[in-house]
Amino acid sequence: MTKTVSSETTIATELSIEFESDPKLVAGALGQIIDGLSELDMSADQSGALELVLAEVVNNVIEHAYSEEAGHPVAIDVRGAPNRLSCRVTDAGKAMPTERLPKGVLHDLNVELDELPEGGFGWFLIGELTENIRYKRIDGKNHLSFSMSLEKQSF
């Protein structure tokens, strides 16, 4: 007697894009990623969260790794399985000051008006919306990888 095994089909979407370190090119690049993942049927919340996290990571790359110099390569790789997105952002700029990622801490907002923070939200948002975040410096390149669950409402 033959046993019938129902094999679970895994649909994986893989996407790789590369663009130059110019703030004006970021929105288009992120739009390409979101469009390319349309078959994953992400909710508006999930695609909003992905777009925000990628924007924060890429803005950091342009501002810090490339010191706001245009014309350098930024690469984004996304692998989407039904329940999970794995992303990697790669650049050839300066290394992060420490191997440890900046800890995103929310400032105390119970302060005088002129002491309210105008920045520093980026790493906090990245930390809130991602899992398994890792930074590696390999062969003169920065690799930042993270994953996002597509199961729970993460955003």
Partner 1 sequence: MELISRDHGAACVVTVDGTRIDASVAIQFKDQMKEIAETGQERVILDLSNVEFIDSSGLGAVVATMKLMGKDRKLDLAGLTPMVEKVFKLTRMDSVFNIFPDMATANV
Which residues of this protein are in contact with partner 1, per CB under 8 A?
23-24, 26-27, 44-45, 48, 51-52, 55-56, 59, 62-63, 106, 109, 113-114, 116-122, 124-125, 128-129, 155
Strand locations in the chain (E): 13-20, 73-81, 84-91, 131-138, 141-149
129 or 144, CB closer to partner 1? 129
What values do phi and psi take at 49, rounded to 5?
-65, -45
The strands making up 13-20's β-sheet, listed across from edge to edge, are 13-20, 73-81, 84-91, 141-149, 131-138
Nearest-approach distance from CB 114 to partner 1, in angstroms: 6
Q: How far is the CB of 108 from partner 1 (least distance, A)?
A: 10
User: CB 97 → partner 1: shortest distance, Å?
Assistant: 19
